[in-house]
Each structure stands twice: as C-alpha cells, then as structure tokens.
Homo-oligomer: A and B are copies of this chain.
Amino acid sequence: MNGELDRKEGVTMADIAELAGVSVPTVSKVLNGRSDVSRATRDRVERVIQEQGYVRSAAARALRGGRSGLVDVLVHDLESPYHLEVIRGIEEALARSGLSLVLSALHGRSRPARQWLEGVKSRGSDAVILVLAASPPDQLAELRRLDIPLVVLDSWGQTQVDVPSVGATNWVGGFSATEHLLSLGHRRVAMIGGPAPLLSSKARAAGYRAALDAAGVAFDVELFRSGDFLPDRGAAETRALLDVEDAPTAIFAGSDLQALGVYQALRERGKHVPEDISVVGFDDLPVASLATPPLTTVRQPLAEMGRMAVEMIRHLLEGEDVQDGRVEMPTSLVVRESSGTPRPLS
C-alpha cells in the first residue's frame, strides 16, 4: 500500500548515476559518446546501464530539443498493395537507422486534416514523408517554418520545385510498355492512364504518346482513357474500349490493379489474354506474376523508392543539402504472358 512500491516505471538516468556513483550529467555524457569521460568511469557507467537494461526516455530528449526519433509517413490510402511495398521499404530503412515510422493515411480525403499536422508538431516528429499524398501549401510552409525535413514520394499534383522528391522513370516506363506492344505488331494500342492530377500519370501518358509517334502510329483520343489505378475503373474503361468502332488489340493499363480490372472485363466478354487482346500493366506488384495469365508489366522499384526517401531524409536530418531535388529510380519492362502478337486479320 506504500506509494513507493507502486512505481512501475523503468529505470531512470538518476538511478544509473546513483548506482554507478557518478552524477547525472556524467551518465548523459557516456550515453552521448562524449570524449570527456575517463575510461574507468565510462566502463562502470556502461556496465550499470547494461545490468539495469536502461533505456533513455525519448520524450525527455525530445523536450530538451533533441530528436524524437519519429518520422511521419502519410500515405494516400491503405488499400493498394502499392503502398504496402513502399511502406515496407521505408520501414526497413528507418529501422536500420534507429528511427520509427508513424503511419497515417488520407482516408479518401484529398488533403490531410489539420489534425495530422498538429500530430506531427505535437509529437515532435523529426521528418515527414508524403506518399502519393498532397499537402496544402500552408501546411508545407508550416513544416518548413518548424524546420521539419520533408520528402515527397510520387507526388500528387504539382511538385514543389524546392521539395526533394523521389519517383520512377515513368515516361520511360510508358514508352517501353507501348513500344513493346507496338513491336509485337499491334497498331490499335489503348491506354488507361492514372488519375489526371498525378505527375506519374502524366509522364506515363506522355511516354505512351511518344512511342506511338516514334512508330508512326497516330494517337487516337478514343483509345486513351483516364482511370484511377483501381480494378473497377480498369474494367469499366475496358468495356468502353471494346465498344469502340475499331477496337484495340492491346491495352496498356496504367497500373497492375487496373490491369486486373481489364482482365475481368475481358473475361466477361469472352476475350482471351493474350490471344484476343494483349495487356500490359505498371508497377509489378507481387500480384502481377500471380495473375492468370502472368502479367507483362513495367516494374518500378517501390520498396527501393521507399528506402531512397529515407536516405534523403537522413541527409536532410544531418543538415546536408540533398544533392538532387528529384531522384528518379529506373523502371524496367517485365515480359510475361499477357502480351503477344495480335491475332492476324482473317
């Protein structure tokens, strides 16, 4: 019943100091690897720390102006495996650096609630990574004012020139997907792109058009659709595409998920992939190789992009300037079984 017996909390720095027979500042110095501590003292303190399983309070450190060790990651949603890949890369890199990942999602909102920024401020996050998520200019300004490093991964909307960002070579990806289809002999190649405001959508679409141009195939507005990267939309646009007068013999879906929607619509119509129509995706999510038939797609190194974002954050945290404003990771075409030569005209 004695209050003193109630203490549940862990060992404190003062405890260590007492046990080691030194002052608190000395323990602090040992912990911070300062050189002005004698060999003997250091050893003694370190032993006691070991024995007690002592862990410094991040709260106290943060309060004293130090780092909280927290990095806020805001993702567009937690529905697509796309995000899972990115988060995996981020989490791995963060863990390796002794940093922790605080995860939030937009939940269908287009902008983070102001509650989110308040959380970032409140918990004293060291940095922020935005994944496919837009943040209003005033929030970005606030982050800057608070000196909180920010990195954007696959920016939604305008990329602020001055915000470091990481993406993939989407233009090249769009180009090579289309070129692949063209080289197989297709001439009616449709594309179902991503959401219009997205930078990567624009780049992929531009790559598609450039490949068409390079092959001397005229761009046909009827064959270009905007989607949302999701299966349902992929299916819907495919149905529309099949009803076009001179229907496409190949569809470049803007994402793997959208490609699965294309599969679905094709199946409904009794069309076979790739015999009747070729399909190419984008992302190379794990599901691409598991699809029936395995999906030809453009791989973007999502997990590595996540790691790269952390890399940039770390530089920023060190006070170093990030060398490049924008880093683009390479995409590559992965040919599987969903693309083939067009059925000869009979």
- Residues on A facing B (Cβ under 8 Å): 8-10, 55-60, 62-63, 68-70, 78-79, 81, 83-84, 87-88, 91-92, 95, 98, 100-105, 107, 115, 118-119, 121-124, 145-147, 231, 257, 260-261, 263-264, 267, 286-287, 290-292
Q: Are A78 and B91 in contact (CB under 8 A)?
A: yes
Instruction: Determine the distance from Cα of A17 to Cα of B10 in the docked complex, in whole angstroms.
Output: 33
Q: Which of A100, A104, A124 has the most CB of B within 10 A?
A: A100
Instruction: Determine the distance from Cα of A146 to Cα of B98 in the docked complex, in whole angstroms.
Output: 22
**If A59-B124, A145-B8 touch, does A107 touch B78 (CB 8 Å cutoff)?**
no
A15 to chain B minimum Cβ distance, whole angstroms, is 14
Each complex incorporates copies of this chain amounting to: 2
Which residues of the other chain, B, contact A60 by a CB distance below 8 angstroms? 59, 63
Kindly list 6 other residue pairs between chains A and B, CB separation below 8 angstroms, not including A81-B84, A231-B286.
A8-B146, A56-B122, A63-B63, A84-B84, A100-B104, A267-B292
Instruction: Determine the distance from Cα of A267 to Cα of B84 in the docked complex, in whole angstroms.
Output: 28
Q: Are A292 and B292 in contact (CB under 8 A)?
A: yes
Q: Are B68 and A59 in contact (CB under 8 A)?
A: yes
Residue among B57, B63, B267, B287 making CB contact with A122, cutoff 8 Å = B57
- What is the chain B residue whose CB lies nearest that of A101? B103
Residue among B105, B147, B264, B292 making CB contact with A263, cutoff 8 Å = B292
Q: Are B8 and A124 in contact (CB under 8 A)?
A: no
Q: Are A122 and B292 in contact (CB under 8 A)?
A: no
Q: Which of A69, A123, A264 has the most CB of B within 10 A?
A: A123
Which residues of the other chain, B, contact A91 by a CB distance below 8 angstroms? 78, 103-105
